[in-house]
Amino acid sequence: MIIHAFLNLFLITRLIMPKNPLIEIKNNLSGLIPGDLIQHLPKKWEKIGDILILKIEKSIKNYEKIIAENYACLLNCKGVFKDTGGISGSFRKPSVKWLYGSKDAVTIHRENKIRYKLDISQLMFSSGNMDERIRMANSSNENETVVDLFAGIGYFSIPMAVYSNPKRIYACEINPFAYKFLCENILLNDVSDIVRPILGDNRVVAPNNVADRIIMGYWDDTQLFLKTAFSCLKNSGGIIHYHIKLPDILVPHKPFEEVENKIKKFKKKAVLMNFKKVKSYAPGIIHAVLDIKIEDL
Ligand SMILES: C[S@@+](CC[C@H](N)C(=O)[O-])C[C@H]1O[C@@H](n2cnc3c(N)ncnc32)[C@H](O)[C@@H]1O
List pLDDT tens digits, range 222-260.
Answer: 999 999 999 999 999 999 999 999 999 999 999 999 999
pLDDT exceeds 90 at position 11: no
Q: Which of 174, 215, 220 to mutate to test the pocket of ligand 1 (most atoms within 8 A of CB)?
A: 174
Distance 171 CA to ligand 1 centre (A): 10
Q: Which residue spans of the chain are classified as CATH 3.30.300.110?
A: 2-104
Q: What is the pLDDT of residues 170-211, one digit of tens each?
A: 999 999 999 999 999 999 999 999 999 999 999 999 999 999
Mean of pLDDT over the chain: 93
% of the chain surpassing 70 pLDDT: 94
d(CA 22, CA 131): 24
Q: What is the mean pLDDT of residues 274-288?
A: 96
Q: What is the pLDDT of residues 92-128, one digit of tens each?
A: 999 999 999 999 999 999 999 999 999 999 999 999 9
At residue 86 the predicted structure's pLDDT band, cuts being 50, 70 and 90, is: confident
Provide the 10 A C-beta neighbour count for residue 241.
23
pLDDT at 193: 98
Q: Taking CB atoms and a 6 Å cutoff, what residues make up the pocket around ligand 1?
A: 90-92, 124, 126, 129, 150, 152, 155, 172-175, 178, 201-203, 217-218
Q: Which of 218, 245, 276 to mutate to test the pocket of ligand 1 (most atoms within 8 A of CB)?
A: 218
Whole-structure pTM over 0.85, yes or no?
A: yes
pLDDT exceeds 60 at position 288: yes
**Cα–Cα nearest to 35, from 60, 5, 64:** 60
129 CA: nearest ligand 1 atom: 8
How many angstroms separate the Cα of 22 from the Cα of each of 39, 46, 232?
A: 11, 14, 48
172 CA: nearest ligand 1 atom: 21
pLDDT exceeds 70 at position 68: yes
Class of domain 126-296: alpha beta
**Cα–Cα nearest to 155, from 202, 192, 123:** 123
d(CA 234, CA 236): 5
Question: CATH fold of 2-104, please?
Answer: GMP Synthetase; Chain A, domain 3 (3.30.300)
d(CA 146, CA 181): 20
Distance 89 CA to ligand 1 centre (A): 10
178 CA: nearest ligand 1 atom: 27
pLDDT exceeds 60 at position 12: no
Q: Which residue spans of the chain are classified as CATH 3.40.50.150?
A: 126-296
217 CA: nearest ligand 1 atom: 6
